Homo-oligomer: A and B are copies of this chain.
Amino acid sequence: MSYLTAQPAERILLGPGPSPVPQRVLRALSAPTLGHLDPQYLTIMDETCAMLREVFGTKNALTFPVSGTGMAGMECCAVNLVEPGDEVIVCVNGVFGARMKDVMERCGAVVHALEAPWGEGYTIEQITAKLDQHPKAKVFAIVQAETSTGALQPLEGIADVVHARGALLLVDAVTSLGGHELKVDAWGIDAIYSGTQKCLSCPPGLSPVSFGDRALARMDARKTKVQSWYLDVSMLRKYYTGGSGAGGGRVYHHTAPINMTYALREALVMVLEEGLDARIARHAAMHQRLRAGLADLGLGYIPSRSLHSLNCIRIPEGANDGAVRGRLLTEYGIEIGAGLGVMAGKAWRIGLMGHGSNVRNVDLVLAALRNILK
């Protein structure tokens, strides 16, 4: 068996992620590999964590990229915050809420699901009622940006009712970080995870997480070992916050994905160069531009409050789901997403994330859909 070097096509990634990666980030990815305890690498990692804090809107010392994709971040939060027998409340209104329930149950949690129709969000009243129904709940988990439905869940105010009942607020921000307003400290979020391949426009492979003081106190008070060695924050924090300089104070845990850290660092430099507020405003403007164009084509949204980064639209009557996506890919090199879970065959998901959220892509995908659906 022998193969040549692969030559991946230059797609325009307008699906649910990965999003288009800027050349600058790809170049950073291919910089020379350093050792994971090299002083230069430790500086690169420290700078990456510092920039992640800015983008998360937090001063949490324990803010770092987990060495896996977004789902590893979800699992990292769950295994560290939950002990067997703990009651937790998980909001389930899409694939990722359902996954969080599954992940929590695998940690031995007793999960109380707060269900909502797919595409809908939750009010503070619904959340408060559920918390009052389960006063022993130790964690309240909710998805800010449900990638399967495109629904945006507002988070302001939730921490107040959660903390008043002694629970921790855990948030999934995989498809919002760097593209939507997100204020970890101001909104009282105790633990949060995201991915690199969405609004940060870095390839997939890392999952930024952040843990606040309440979450650290919960972890410090654990009676049982964290079931995952790879994701055990009690060890990871000795590496990620152990000090700086020539390995001083750092405790080796596992070999970090060195080159992926370079890419994430460069992607964050680009976020801060643009300015986080400007970037969020750009995502909002491009969403409005796409929404207006889709309305002209007679295409409607599924969620009542849509993400700016992911547009989940109803497949029009008579259109062949696979054929349309296939033509977009082969004729235009454009990837959009199929429906996921109960949305399969019913929805298309058009991502406008990070570097990919621009006028050129919006107008192109609208032109392509106009042509294909005519």
A interface vs B, CB < 8 Å? 1-11, 13, 15, 17-18, 20-21, 24, 26-36, 38, 40-41, 44, 47, 50-51, 54, 67-72, 74-75, 99, 102-103, 105-107, 195, 197, 203-205, 225-230, 246, 252, 254-260, 262-263, 265-266, 269, 272-273, 326, 329, 335, 340
Contact = CB atoms under 8 A, between A and B. Distances in A.
16 contacts: A3-B47, A3-B269, A6-B31, A6-B265, A8-B31, A8-B33, A8-B34, A11-B38, A18-B36, A21-B32, A29-B259, A36-B204, A71-B229, A197-B258, A204-B255, A257-B257
A120 to B, nearest CB: 23
A35 B21 CA distance: 11
A21 B17 CA distance: 28
Contact of A72 (B40, B67, B103, B262): B67
A230 B11 contact: no
A75 B230 contact: yes
Given A260-B260, A340-B252, A33 B18 contact: yes
A38 B337 CA distance: 11
Nearest to A266: B5
A254 B71 contact: yes
Contact of A203 (B3, B15, B197, B257): B257
A216 B24 CA distance: 43
8 A-B pairs with least C-beta separation: A205-B257, A30-B30, A26-B30, A203-B259, A71-B254, A204-B255, A21-B33, A68-B68
